[in-house]
Structure 1
Amino acid sequence: MHAGSGESPVIMSGNIIISVQVLKNATKNFAKESKLGHGGFGVVYKGQLDDGTKIAVKRMESGAISNKALDEFESEISVLTKVRHRHLVSLLGYSTEGLERILVYEYMPQGALSRHLFHWKNLKLEPLSWKMRLNIALDVARGMEYLHTLAHQSFIHRDLKSSNILLVE
Structure 2
Amino acid sequence: MSIQALKMTTNNFSEDFIFGKDGFGIVYKGDLSVTLIAVKRSISGLMGQNGQQEFKTEIDVLRKVRHRNLVALLGYYVDGQERLLVYEFMPKGTLGHHLFEWESGNAPPLSCKQRLVISSLDIARGIEYLHSLAQEIFIHRYLKHANILRDKDLNAKVSDFGLVKLATHNKMSMTTQVARTFGYLAPEYASNWIDLLF
Q: TM-score, normalised by structure 2?
A: 0.74
| Cα displacement string for residues 94-153 of structure 1 (whole angstroms, at most 9, x for unaligned residues) | 000232111000001111111111111012122111111111002101111111111111
Show the counterpart of 1:26: 9
Given candidates 99, 114, 118, the residue that maps to 2:96 is 114
Given candidates 107, 114, 126, the residue that maps to 1:143 is 126
| 1:17-96 equivalence runs, <5 A | 18-49=1-32, 51-96=33-78
AA partner of residue 68 (structure 1): N
| Cα displacement string for residues 29-48 of structure 1 (whole angstroms, at most 9, x for unaligned residues) | 11112111112311111111
CA offset at residue 160 of structure 1?
0.5
Show the counterpart of 2:108: 126
Q: Where does structure 2 lack aligned partners over 5 or more consecutive residues?
A: 154-198
Distance 1:91 1:78 in 2: 10
Deviates more, 1:32-41 or 1:85-94: 32-41
Distance 1:68 1:98 in 2: 17
Show the counterpart of 2:148: 165
| Root-mean-square deviation (Å) | 1.0
Q: TM-score, normalised by structure 1?
A: 0.86
CA offset at residue 62 of structure 1?
2.2
Distance 1:146 1:157 in 2: 11
The structure with the larger Rg is 2
Show the counterpart of 2:82: 100
Show the counterpart of 1:4: none
Q: Could you say which structure has the higher helix fraction? A: 2
CA offset at residue 28 of structure 1?
1.2
Regions of 4+ moved over 6 Å = none
AA partner of residue 111 (structure 1): G
Q: Where does structure 1 lack aligned partners over 5 or more consecutive residues?
A: 1-17
Q: Is the 8 A contact 1:112 1:162 kept in 2?
A: yes
| Cα displacement string for residues 147-169 of structure 1 (whole angstroms, at most 9, x for unaligned residues) | 11111111111111111101112
Q: How many residues align?
A: 151
Show the counterpart of 1:12: none
Identity among equivalent positions (%) equals 54
